[in-house]
A and B are shown apart, each in its own frame.
Chain A
């Protein structure tokens, strides 16, 4: 069965520091992978998605993610954290049953 794991339910970084949020997936089919962000009291919004084109995917707000098939990973990065990046981040994968499942989420805190 397909699944998504996100290492670290909570990550804290200093403002200006590198952001790295980890995502590993299992999928029996070529994956479609997504990162969504949820700000407090809001719905989720798409940051970026991988659909078997370039392995390095650039998204909104300076985020990017790299698809690594050998590691079954799709980690999210941003070179320099901003206070406004504080939010919950969800990795998601499309399953062979034609639906998207979400990981448990990682809460990102940015320390001034």
Chain B
């Protein structure tokens, strides 16, 4: 299996621009997670889906962030408009079904907002 695929791997953008991060989970996995990692705040869960339905989005920082999962093999995390404080590494992870199942992480997208 190819594992969790994320694109792009690096993104540099200017403040105010829209940013879209993409994720393809492992085939057959029913849960998908978006995390943000920074030095200051560590690893934070932003949102997770089960069977394409958002279950918990309490970690989404504000309305500028939105996430979708239109089908079982694709998810996006969008930031509009982006701000410098959004600079971080964003990880997507998937698991078979339950939150207690092993989560498989993608390589991450390093976002820099200038």
Contacts and interface: CB of A to CB of B under 8 A. Distances in A.
A104 B107 contact: no
Interface stretch (B12-20, B61-69, B71-79, B96-104): B96-104
A44 B3 CA distance: 12
Contacts of B106: 43
A42 B102 contact: no
A90 B107 contact: no
A26 to B, nearest CB: 17
Given A42-B107, A43-B91, A45-B105, A99 B43 contact: no
B100 A99 contact: no
Contact of A46 (B56, B91, B103): B103
A51 interface: yes
A100 B45 contact: yes
B70 interface: no
A103 B91 CA distance: 16
Kindly state the interface size class of chain B when it binds its partner. Answer: 10 to 19
Contact of A94 (B56, B91, B93, B99): B99
Nearest to B9: A41
Given A43-B93, A46-B103, A51-B100, A99 B108 contact: no
A32 B100 contact: yes
A49 B99 CA distance: 12
Nearest to A101: B45
Given A97-B56, A99-B48, A99-B56, A46 B43 contact: no
Contacts of A103: 42
Contacts of B107: 41-43
A44 B55 CA distance: 22
A100 B105 contact: no
Given A43-B91, A43-B108, 13 more contacts: A32-B100, A41-B108, A43-B93, A44-B93, A45-B104, A46-B103, A49-B100, A100-B99, A100-B103, A101-B45, A102-B43, A103-B42, A105-B43
29 contacts: A36-B103, A41-B107, A42-B107, A43-B4, A43-B91, A43-B93, A43-B106, A43-B107, A44-B91, A44-B103, A44-B105, A46-B102, A46-B103, A49-B100, A49-B102, A51-B100, A90-B43, A97-B56, A98-B99, A99-B48, A100-B45, A100-B99, A100-B100, A100-B103, A102-B42, A102-B43, A102-B45, A105-B42, A105-B43
